[in-house]
Amino acid sequence: MSFTELGLSAPILDAINEQGYETPSPIQKQAIPAILTGKDVMAAAQTGTGKTAGFTLPLLEILSSGEHAHANQVRALVLTPTRELAAQVADSVATYGKHLPLRSTVVFGGVKINPQMMKLRKGVDILVATPGRLLDLYNQNAVRFKQLEILVLDEADRMLDMGFIHDIRKILAVLPKHRQNLMFSATFSSDIRKLARGLVHKPVEISVSPRNTTANTVKQWICPVDKKQKPALLSKLITDNDWQQVLVFSRTKHGANRLSRYLEEKGIKAAAIHGNKSQGARTRALAGFKAGEVRVLVATDIAARGLDIDQLPQVINVDLPNVPEDYVHRIGRTGRAGASGQAVSLVCADEFKQLSDIENLIKQLLPRKLIDGFEPVHDVPQSQLNKRPARKHKKRKPKPDHRDGQRSAENARGHKPAGRRSASNRNRKNNNKS
């Protein structure tokens, strides 16, 4: 199948051609026709599969007809969890819409708001935004949604992980009820499905890869090592293997800064990127990394989604993530679009539980390799996959003193829980506090 068979118009096909693409990816083959029919869509796909173009291309096609946006109005809204991802989506819109008379812009925090307000004054057909800055603009009457036709939630699961659920609900409350809704994500957790119940209507569900799997083009292995030796081992691996472009993940912001400084002291050009960095510093670090001026980019999980780097060969986990799904997102930065890549994790004895959780999630034991001079004093125990089938439990009515988890889940959906009056009163007090 070629892009010409997907129902896209000549201006968009020309832009795709100019980028050198001939064949749509699996997610694009399924998502583009479904979106063009006007149906709501829930799509799950690994990072690096062409997910962004999977919704920007049909978005441009739909908006290429119809009345342009009026002053301060928006016809399509794309919400993303991070500034970097917002910038990437905006670039995709600009690239594929270059031959169309559509206006688009991107807004996010960390930069001055006035220039963003000026761009919105004439109205935009496509607005890419992070939730917090969008609410700031809405509260200042800089953006309105009377003309909104399409809402896209990109990396919806990550938005929930980062605590954007309240902002998302505030945004949904001011949007027109009649609109097309698209949810794109690497995975769909149970929390995401709860959110989807109040958002999408009879959606087309698309999944192009098994849930929580890693690309087979990525070679994965771990180095058991004591925690204090991790920076030195990282430096050795980079130097001995002559790795020229390495994305390194640290669990904390301070850890990312320390590691970046350590590598610089060893003569390895490095930069850190995380939430405490200004938007300008983050943009410069990423640009330097892409240009080859920065050899090592040390990031927290804020960069696990949305970093669009061609042919990234190495991803190193100096710390394993606490959430096993984040491991999949991290190493999804390499081995993209059929290219080969390598993901190495430096694992200490304290991280055995995280390692075990990751291996059970991806359903494979990761091979281990000891590095001479870095053999750990505190060894990492051998792990094994849990092959026991899930036990079937009979449904029982929960006891009154064990209802907190149920109440939380129901409150997340916006429903008042059933049960005794005292439980309802407690929830009402909690809602008033929030």
**Domain segments of the chain as ranges:** 3-207, 218-362
Question: What is the side-by-side strand order in the sheet with 341-347?
Answer: 218-224, 341-347, 314-317, 246-249, 296-299, 270-273
Q: Note whether 378 and 225 are within 8 A (CB).
A: no
Q: Give which of 424, 178, 221, 394 is closest to 316, Cα–Cα.
A: 221
CATH entry 3.90.25.10 includes domain 3-207: no
Phi, psi (5° rounding) for residue 388? Answer: -70, 135
SS (H, E, C) the chain: CCHHHHCCCHHHHHHHHHCCCCCCCHHHHHHHHHHHCCCCEEEECCCCCCHHHHHHHHHHHHHCCCCCCCCCEEEEEEECCCHHHHHHHHHHHHHHCCCCCCCEEEECCCCCCHHHHHHHCCCEEEEEECHHHHHHHHHCCCCECCCCCEEEEECHHHHHHCCCHHHHHHHHHCCCCCCEEEEEECCCCHHHHHHHHCCCCCCEEEECCCCCCCCCCEEEEEEECCHHHHHHHHHHHHHHCCCCCEEEECCCHHHHHHHHHHHHHCCCCEEEECCCCCHHHHHHHHHHHHHCCCCEEEECHHHCCCCCCCCCCEEEECCCCCCHHHHHHHHCCCCHHHCCEEEEEEECHHHHHHHHHHHHHHCCCCCECCCCCCCCCCCCCCCCCCCCCCCCCCCCCCCHHHCHHHHHHHHHHCCCCCCCHHHHHHHHHHHHHC
pLDDT of residue 361: 87
d(CA 176, CA 147): 8
- DSSP bridge pairs for 219: 342
Q: Note whether 169 and 434 are within 8 A (CB).
A: no
Q: Do domains 3-207 and 218-362 have the same CATH topology?
A: yes
Low-confidence ranges of the chain (pLDDT < 70): 46-48, 187, 189, 209-217, 302-311, 333, 335-340, 387-434
Pairing verdict, β 124-129 and 74-79: parallel
Phi, psi (5° rounding) for residue 423? Answer: -65, -40
CATH class of 218-362: alpha beta
d(CA 360, CA 156): 24
Could you tell me the two tokens for 125?
A: 């057909």
d(CA 82, CA 275): 9
Other CB atoms within a 10 A radius of the CB of residue 34 amount to 19
pLDDT of residue 316: 95
Phi, psi (5° rounding) for residue 223? Answer: -115, 105
